[in-house]
A = this chain, B = another copy of it.
Amino acid sequence: MAGKRSLMPPGEDALLARLLSKVPVCAGLGPGDDCAAVPGPARGEWLLLKTDAVAEDVHFLRSHDPAQVGWKALCRPLSDIAAMGGTPSEALVTFFSPPGLDASWWVRFYEGLGRAARRFGVTVAGGEMSRQTHGIAVSIALTGRVRRSHLATRSGGKPGDLLVVTGRLGGSPGGRHLTFVPRLEEGRWLARHARPHAMMDLSDGLGSDLPRLAAACGGGFEIDRPRIPRHRGCSIEQALSDGEDYELLLAVTPARWNSLANRWRGVFPNLPLTVIGRLTATPGLPADWPSGWDHFRTPDARGKS
């Protein structure tokens, strides 16, 4: 383990584990993956359950277009449904509204949310509105469906599996964090055709999320950093640490890679699919691995660009 930091879970994961020790936990696929999954609604299907949140001055600013905030609020949990290879279905929208906020803010928010809902086949099943004393906050819970044989989790990766990412990373604080497109179609295609051993979405940044995937698989990882696909003008450091990429990270068996890459180019010619490294048997982090983004560790906020 010389030259590696111990694979300590970051603050958020440690707090979550402590909190979950206080409650009865779901018997299906529960906390710790992108979505929870329980049997149903049809035979051979799983029901996916996910909740996500955006808060003012953390994930967006009051000066941002509320329609973009509504888009983002729904697309964040959609990205998690994508990471399970699933198809989204119903949304429950809870919002907290501060004194003096005009109702038109929420109307515009719902316009953006509605645009995302129509595009990705989601219907709104209900919601709850509450006042709070300061700031806007929204939580969206989503259901989804996935065939049991297509369910992609975080934990099945094996040493030697190739680590693959969709799209390009870095630079989301410049605006992409409000306009990104969740990889639903790509996630379903990959679950069916790549049969990944593990898959997750990159919401906190590769620097935070890759160690989570490797830890869930019981091992470590090696990355060839210059191979990380980056948005124009982004450094490797940004690609690792900016967060809010909402691309997919997967672990696939090397034998599948060549045919997979060929078929991918035929179906998604405009979105790169890139090998960036591989899973290893030894838990631990590379020596100079950045921590990525963690709500409960870093004081700087996303969306403050």
Q: With the chains together, A55 CA to B55 CA distance in Å?
A: 13
In the complex, A173 has a CB within 8 A of chain B: no
In the complex, A47 has a CB within 8 A of chain B: yes
Q: Which residue of B lies closest to A109 (CB)?
A: B19
User: Knowing A42-B40, A141-B141 touch, does A22 contact B129 (C-beta < 8 A)?
Assistant: no
In the complex, A155 has a CB within 8 A of chain B: no
Q: With the chains together, A5 CA to B81 CA distance in Å?
A: 47
In the complex, A267 has a CB within 8 A of chain B: no
Q: Are A125 and B55 in contact (CB under 8 A)?
A: no
In the complex, A93 has a CB within 8 A of chain B: yes
Q: Are A47 and B51 in contact (CB under 8 A)?
A: no
Chain B contacts for A129, CB-based, 8 A: 12, 15-16, 295-296
Interface-forming stretch among A27-35, A221-229, A234-242?
A: A27-35
Chain B contacts for A96, CB-based, 8 A: 53, 55, 96, 137
Q: Are B295 and A130 in contact (CB under 8 A)?
A: yes
The interface bits of chain A over 8-38 (1 if a CB of B lies within 8 angstroms of the residue's CB, else 0) are 0000100110111011111110110001101
Q: With the chains together, A96 CA to B130 CA distance in Å?
A: 13
Chain B contacts for A133, CB-based, 8 A: 55-58, 134-135
Q: With the chains together, A113 CA to B25 CA distance in Å?
A: 12
Most buried by B among A39, A50, A131, A299: A131
Q: Nearest chain B CB to A179's CB is how many angstroms away?
A: 19
